[in-house]
Amino acid sequence: MSLFLPFLIHLIPSYDDASWGPRLLPIFYAPVIAAFLYRPHVSLILAVAPLTLNHLITGRPPAAFAFQLSFELLVFTALARCFVWKQLPCWIIGPAAYVLGKPVMVLVLFLISGLPGSGEPISWALHSLLLAVPGVCILGLIGYVVSKTPRHGT
């Protein structure tokens, strides 16, 4: 899911210049599910492996973008794991981790030049947040569904 769903989402034709990936955030689905259901190392692997494998196999995304998005996924996963541990409502964990991860990424973009968005990190963050509203809602829906799904041993 973590490797192929983002690839399939990017194949959907878009009605403007932004692809569906930044809108629907499919690369974030597996790490947030893993944050709910598995040990920390699983969600961390799912945060880094898909982009690295896609870059090695297809050359896409470009190295700078793969690094940036992998770092963003690591921040997202760390926040989601923290929120799961703090027992926040499940439907808020994914959206909160995504939104609260953006200020961290702004700081990273201020510190590391050459990454996409590093020229104007604040406008990059605001644009990506506005573009990702449907995906943020999907992250909330995933949390809700996972919380209602019976688990083995319970």
Residue 93: exposed, middle, or buried by beta-carbon count in 10 A (0-12, 13-18, 19+)?
A: buried
CA gyration radius, the chain = 15
State residue 121's pLDDT score.
Answer: 95
List CB contacts of 131: < 8 A, sequence separation 6 or more: 18, 22, 23
Provide the residue-wise pLDDT of the chain in tens; the chain has 154 residues.
777 787 788 778 878 877 888 999 999 999 999 999 999 899 889 988 888 888 888 888 888 898 999 999 999 999 999 999 999 999 999 999 999 999 999 999 999 988 888 889 999 999 999 999 999 999 999 999 999 988 765 4
State residue 152's pLDDT score.
Answer: 66
- Identify the three-state secondary structure at position 47: helix
State residue 13's pLDDT score.
Answer: 81
State residue 153's pLDDT score.
Answer: 55
State residue 142's pLDDT score.
Answer: 97
